[in-house]
Amino acid sequence: MMAQERIVQALCEVVDPQVVCTDADTLDLLARDALHTERLPPGVEIAQPVCVVQPYTAEQVAAVLRVANETPCPVIPIGGGSGLMGGAASIIPGIVVDLRRLDYLHIRAADRMADVGAGVTINALNQAAAQHGLMCGHDPWTVAVATVGGTISTNSLGYLGGKYGAMGDQVLGLEAVLPTGELIRTRAVEKSSTGPNLQPLLIGAEGCLGIITRATLRLLPLPAKRVLQAWSFADFATGFAAINALLDAGLRPGLLELGDDAPTPAHHPPAMLLLSYEGLARVAQAEAEEGAAICLQHAGQLLPTREAQEFWDSRHASGDAYARSRTEGKQWRRPRPHIDYLHVALPPSAVLEYRQQSLDLLASRGLHARQSGLWDHAGLFSLVYSGEQLAALTDVHRELLMRCQDLQGSMEYCHGVGARLATLMQREHGAGLEVLRRLKQCLDPRGILNPGKLSLGDALLGGDCEARPD
């Protein structure tokens, strides 16, 4: 009997056989996330999974991991599959654990908390919370498909991050299955002082140290009022100065998005700043008036409200299209030119220097900046650029990330590392990467969880289930 057949048989003995899938269409769909395959690192390819398991309970997840340890066989957890770094992609044959059936959802209105299964989408959570006048503070572009487990595992950032923070900031408690099949739960309280906190080990770990199965999340009151504003500034630097002045004044807009189109080293076009102020009606209005005064001091021109409203109303359109394609069992294949993007975190004082370096580098390589911008904070910088050859984009992408690191920045603030950025983890963390690798070895001695992600030195990378003797 082939190794893959033995693994499927062993899984069917410990979980309901109905949750074990081996049909080709399911395997092909769930082997991938939203990262286009041409952006995988050289030599890395999508691999066909051994099977897909779609558990209903944390205990079933634990049973899968125990079987995987015995084999051993890689396990790749996946939620909505909307990640852009290959964090949920199968780059080695293994067992894909589809967590979307972990859909427990209970709103604890008196506690302003929600107990939520890893497979619940942010959209479903918000719909349930809204009935109690509450909401989740995380608003990703893929709200219709992004799951609680996936957004915690990448510590993703959304449109309201300026006021409420990233997904990890919403987490009060976690339930997770460790690679060896042990189930752990942390106490869901606002603050405790009982030794090191286990939750940060799992937030942003992309399923490499454990599989999150349930979370207790902080909920926030639905804002009584949301004031949207759109401002035009002479150029990026002027808009950037206005943002710093807003933050210096203690204002924290929910939405904060600055962008310009087609900048070059010598041409700095006008920039648009989108803002939201929200909360109690009088507070939101007062903050909006104070923010407007600051923008006017920086020669900003207030644009018609429809400019901001149209953006707000369409902010999830791309994610909704992706959600529909996943629901229909289709791969996402949008016609697109050769473009690439980065989202880096910098000390605010380094942003303008980094932006100029980036524009100079792109121009020297014959590439074109399509947009530069900031999101949620003065130090969170984004860049979209294009060129005729994909290879040229790949080369410059790496150099742009390294230049960010050289300015004491971090190479990603939103989407995680996955497979795409793993080769720069040593440069990012230095000696700290070895600490992370020791944690991985301690928690996952057989290296089964999500091999090849985060550059954690997985034991199974380079081998697979089928290659092992019967």
Query: pLDDT by residue (tens digit) across 145-186?
Result: 999 999 999 999 999 999 999 999 999 999 999 999 999 999
Does the domain formed by 339-427 have CATH 3.30.70.2740?
Answer: yes
Tell me what the pLDDT averaged over the chain comes to: 94
Cα Rg for the chain, rounded, in angstroms?
A: 23
**Tell me: the pLDDT tens digits for 63-83?**
999 999 999 999 999 999 999
The pLDDT value given to residue 390: 78
* pLDDT on residue 343: 98
pLDDT at position 469, please? 34
Domain 102-221 listed as CATH 3.40.50.300: no
Contacts of 117 (CB under 8 A, 6+ apart): 99, 102, 103, 104, 105, 148, 149, 213, 214
CB atoms < 10 A from the CB of 180, how many?
A: 17
Q: What is the pLDDT of residue 467?
A: 39
Instruction: Name the band, by pLDDT with cuts 50, 70 and 90, for residue 124.
Output: very high
Interaxial angle between packed helices 351-364 and 390-406, expressed in degrees from 0 to 180 and rounded to the nearest 10: 150
Query: pTM score, two decimals?
Result: 0.95
Predicted pLDDT at 327: 81
294-316 tens-digit pLDDT: 999 999 999 999 999 999 999 99
Going by C-alpha positions, the residue among 436, 428, 426 that lies closest to residue 401 is 428
Cβ partners under 8 Å of residue 76, min gap 6? 49, 88, 89, 90, 94, 95, 96, 97, 207, 450
pLDDT band at 36 (very low <50, low <70, confident <90, very high): confident
Please tell me the distance from the alpha carbon of residue 177 to that of residue 90, in angstroms, as a whole number.
Answer: 20
Once rounded to an integer, what is the mean pLDDT over residues 21-29? 95
pLDDT above 60 (res 464): no
Which tokens hold the place of 341?
């993007």
Identify the pLDDT of residue 161.
97
DSSP state of 169: G
Q: How many Å apart are CA 159 and CA 440, to the nearest integer?
A: 32
Instruction: Give the model's pLDDT for residue 37.
Output: 85
With 50 as the cut, is the pLDDT of residue 190 above it? yes
Q: What confidence score (pLDDT) does residue 337 get?
A: 60
Spatial CB neighbours of 424, under 8 Å, sequence gap ≥ 6:
398, 401, 402, 405, 411
pLDDT, position 461: 63
115 - beta bridge partners? 106, 216
pLDDT band (50, 70, 90) for residue 324: confident
Mean pLDDT confidence for 276-291: 98
pLDDT value at position 3? 86
Contact call for residues 450 and 459 (beta carbons, < 8 A)? no
For residue 19, give the nearest of 78, 68, 48, 60 by alpha carbon.
60
Region 250-271: mean pLDDT is 97
Tell me the domain boundaries of the chain: 102-221, 225-327, 339-427
Report percent pLDDT > 90 for the chain: 89
Question: Fold match between 102-221 and 225-327?
Answer: no
Do 356 and 372 touch, CB atoms closer than 8 A?
A: no
- 452 near 208, Cβ under 8 Å? no
> Averaged over 85-97, what is the pLDDT?
96
Per-residue pLDDT band for 334 (boundaries 50, 70, 90) equals: low
Give mean pLDDT, residues 118-122: 98
Cα separation, 425 vs 420, whole angstroms: 10
DSSP calls for 288-320: HHHHHHHHHHTT-EEPPHHHHHHHHHHTTHHHH
Q: Which of 148-157, 351-360, 389-398, 406-415 is least confident?
A: 389-398
Residues 148, 117: contact at Cβ < 8 Å? Answer: yes
What's the CA gap between 281 and 252, in Å, rounded?
Answer: 16
How many Cβ atoms from other residues are within 10 Å of residue 261's Cβ? 14
Cα 430 to chain centroid, rounded: 23
At the topology level of CATH, where does 225-327 sit? Alpha-Beta Plaits (3.30.70)
User: Which residue would you say has higher pLDDT here, 318 or 407?
Assistant: 407
